[in-house]
Chains A and B, each alone.
Chain A
Amino acid sequence: AQSVTQLDSQVPVFEEAPVELRCNYSSSVSVYLFWYVQYPNQGLQLLLKYLSGSTLVKGINGFEAEFNKSQTSFHLRKPSVHISDTAEYFCAVSDFYNQGGKLIFGQGTELSVKP
């Protein structure tokens, strides 16, 4: 069965520093990959998605992620973070051939941006 591992449960970082949130998934023939962000007491919002094509995907709020098939990874990056980026980030995977589009989520990474 498909599984997703977010390697860091908490990532503290200073404002304007770069950040990388790591995500690995179990191997599959073909997958769709997503990053969602959750601000306190809110639902999840889509940051970016990879369906096919270019392995470097750009999303909202200056975030980007790179799909690496050989390493089964989809790490999220931002070159310079802001206080407002403080939130929980979830990586999610959907198997291409999986009927119903079931999403499997990672455990989440809490990004804490300090001044």
Chain B
Amino acid sequence: NAGVTQTPKFQVLKTGQSMTLQCAQDMNHEYMSWYRQDPGMGLRLIHYSVGAGITDQGEVPNGYNVSRSTTEDFPLRLLSAAPSQTSVYFCASSRNQDQPQHFGDGTRLSIL
């Protein structure tokens, strides 16, 4: 069972570069979300989606874009990378609001 798959696992970018973090789930979950994890701050919600074609902002959306064209995929785009975006990024999915979220293994992103 694949669950939630994130790629790449590691990435180093230069300031100003753009890139897309990929997230795919094979559980037919409607709800998907992106978090960033920074030391001492827990996980903070970046963007989320309640179904294909529907996305909304979380706590820290600035500098990130998302789209949800299919149920399975929920990519996160960094438009112009900044050192403040150095973090570990987690994608998660769940069937609906009252079900626990399943997390991917994360993407470690460093921006120089």
Contacts and interface: CB of A to CB of B under 8 A. Distances in A.
Interface centre among A42, A46, A102 (most CB of B within 10 A): A102
Contacts of B105: 42-43
User: Is the interface on chain A under 10, 10 to 19, 20 to 34, or 35 or more residues?
Assistant: 20 to 34
Contacts of B4: 43
B12 interface: no
B101 A103 contact: yes
Interface string A26-53: 0000001010100000111110010100
A103 B45 contact: yes
B8 interface: no
A67 to B, nearest CB: 15
Contact of A100 (B44, B48, B90, B103): B48
Nearest to A6: B42
Contact of A107 (B31, B42, B94, B100): B42
User: Is the interface on chain B under 10, 10 to 19, 20 to 34, or 35 or more residues?
Assistant: 20 to 34
Nearest to B90: A43
Interface in A63-115: 90, 92, 94, 98-108
B112 interface: no
B58 interface: yes
Contacts, number: 65
Contacts of A55: none
Interface centre among B42, B92, B100 (most CB of A within 10 A): B100
Contact of B42 (A51, A90, A100): A90
A48 B33 CA distance: 20
B96 interface: yes
Contacts of A61: none
18 contacts: A6-B42, A34-B100, A36-B103, A42-B106, A44-B103, A46-B100, A46-B101, A92-B43, A94-B98, A99-B97, A100-B31, A100-B48, A101-B94, A101-B98, A105-B42, A107-B40, A107-B41, A108-B42
